[in-house]
Amino acid sequence: MPNLTRRQFSAAVVAACGLASLKLRAMQTAARQTGLRDVFKDDFLMGTALGGGGLAQGTSPLLELVAREYNAITPTNMMKWGPIEPREGEWQWEMPDRFVAWGEAHGMRVVGHNLVWHSQVPSWLFVDADKQPIGKDALIARLESHIRTLVGRYKGRIHIWDVVNEAIEDDDKGWRQSPWTRIIGPEFMERAFRVAHETDPKATLLYNDYNEHNPGKRAFLVGVLKDYRKRKVPIHGVGFQGHVGLDYPDLAEYEKSIEAIAGLGLPIHVTELDIDVLPRATRSTSADVSATAASSESLDPWKAGLPPEIDERLTARYRQFFELFLKHRKHVARVTTWGTFDGESWKNNFPVRGRTNYPLLFDRDLKPKAAYAGVVALK
């Protein structure tokens, strides 16, 4: 028998095992109280995103699972501008405070998500008292006040911030023409990073986006980051959201983006990883998948459970991404999944509501899936 590396041997084992064996291995790993955080402790942080539902209960099977498996947590919605400051100067601190306190109590690296985004904002943000479009100086004042208040409240307690979210278009289109860009100009992003750093100089500050594998988007982002590094804008890493599928993106392009960012001396945080297994749909697709039997079957084909052949593809795809993260472990600081188990994933409702998706490492009963065992087997 030829000599094999540990990774080659693990791959051979996975190839030889069926899904049942992988699922058994996953449950055995969980039963030993050995979580993903332990498996990858020498490589990168392992994180997940938490909503307010579980935290409101104080304890739950979900929270027990998160405490065992992960060492980093990100809030899904509670710190976005709309939910946390729905009316100017009126802050909703209860759930964010619980989130941070829970993370501290369980030794987590706590991530703040997010400070500046064009989406999920309150209706008052981009208008003045007369409901007219707000001016540049007034919007800058709101941006700075929001960041100082939010970052200041959790100074020294939130370790990582997604400072600006999704400010760049795909392809080679450049800056997203959001109200931030139209009213303030692209400098809104630099100002956000500088104010966040002034407020908490020890926090790690990230730019977070999706589709960085897109060559045009990658080139524009690298140009922005080179300029920021030259002018000492306090940016400390880039978030790759990681909303991917069974057959997209091209892993070679994804790796080129990791290498491009790493080449600037910036770490990569995989911030919102999930793998969509359902047929591709667009925002224009009807939200009512039950309108006809044909549309329901075509867009939501696996209501009763994931077929073994798709489960195998999901496991293989997770392994491909984790192999890539491990290959670049010197530059990948964190891997966070967007949600913990399939039942809570946003992919059940986006871009078409009411579908049954299976994008995460734990199933609807909080049990580890074959994909879980597949990534564990890489170590």
Per domain, the residue ranges of the chain are: 6-281+305-376
Per-residue pLDDT tens listing for the chain (379 residues): 344 454 444 454 455 556 666 666 555 655 566 899 999 999 999 999 999 877 877 789 999 999 999 999 999 999 999 999 999 999 999 999 999 999 999 999 999 999 999 999 999 999 999 999 999 999 999 999 999 999 999 999 999 999 999 999 998 899 999 999 999 999 999 999 999 999 999 999 999 999 999 999 999 999 999 999 999 999 999 999 999 999 999 999 999 999 999 999 999 999 999 999 999 876 555 444 444 433 567 889 999 999 999 999 999 999 999 999 999 999 999 999 999 999 999 999 988 888 999 999 999 999 999 999 999 999 9
Catalytic machinery residues: 166, 272
Q: What is the pTM of this model?
A: 0.90
**Residue of 89, 98, 18 whose CA lies nearest to 374:** 18
Q: What is 6-281+305-376's CATH superfamily?
A: Glycosidases (3.20.20.80)
